[in-house]
A and B are shown apart, each in its own frame.
Chain A
Amino acid sequence: QQQVKQSPQSLIVQKGGIPIINCAYENTAFDYFPWYQQFPGKGPALLIAIRPDVSEKKEGRFTISFNKSAKQFSLHIMDSQPGDSATYFCAASDDYGNNRLAFGKGNQVVVIP
């Protein structure tokens, strides 16, 4: 059972475009929502994270939008660059419960020069 559902599966954008990746969750006990970036053959690394008490968070060219009532959150990559080509995973955890970190299936983003 996928606790976090991620879409679309892959995206191809031109340099400077804004790829948007969406995630949806069901468990209302989730209280921490990170995004991870993974390059081929490497482990994922944290990109940005949000908690449900805010609706948006920006770090550099990366923005998370969070909609608590819809149980959805999304990642926007502003002014995308070829170096942003990677697989992106959304995740969620219930840190006041069992500290289990659940991931989406991942989204491959390709930025064409």
Chain B
Amino acid sequence: DGGITQSPKYLFRKEGQNVTLSCEQNLNHDAMYWYRQDPGQGLRLIYYSQIVNDFQKGDIAEGYSVSREKKESFPLTVTSAQKNPTAFYLCASRGDMNTEAFFGQGTRLTVV
């Protein structure tokens, strides 16, 4: 089955810890995205990558880091510098231009 997989589904983190969210796709898509979703805020872009070994900051990149060492993988690290990390995180991928973005099922991160 082709698709995009995020793991874990739920994640708890203590304050001051870094945590990495996984995103893997087997759709052979070049572009991948990370969004953060908070109630009433919609989907806010954290980072995106159009090609391996290249990525750009989105609107709310502070406190986050990413890597794109492989086409199928785009992990997101939420660092201790992120002031309010509790949120629902969504990863997406896209193929050619003007095509559908496919989303994973999301990771709900809670800081305890």
Residues of chain A having any CB pair with chain B under 8 Å: 1-2, 6, 9, 31-32, 34, 36, 41-46, 49, 51, 89, 91, 93, 95-96, 98-106
Contact = CB atoms under 8 A, between A and B. Distances in A.
Nearest to A6: B42
A101 B101 contact: yes
**Interface range, B side:** 20 to 34
A41 to B, nearest CB: 7
B101 A100 contact: no
A15 B50 CA distance: 42
Contacts of B35: 103
A103 B35 CA distance: 10
Interface stretch (B13-21, B69-77, B78-86, B103-111): B103-111
13 contacts: A43-B92, A43-B103, A43-B106, A49-B100, A51-B98, A96-B97, A98-B56, A99-B31, A99-B94, A100-B48, A100-B58, A101-B48, A103-B44
A95 B104 contact: no
Interface string B35-54: 10000111111001010000
B31 A44 contact: no
Nearest to B40: A105
Contacts of A99: 31, 48, 50, 94, 97
A101 B46 CA distance: 11
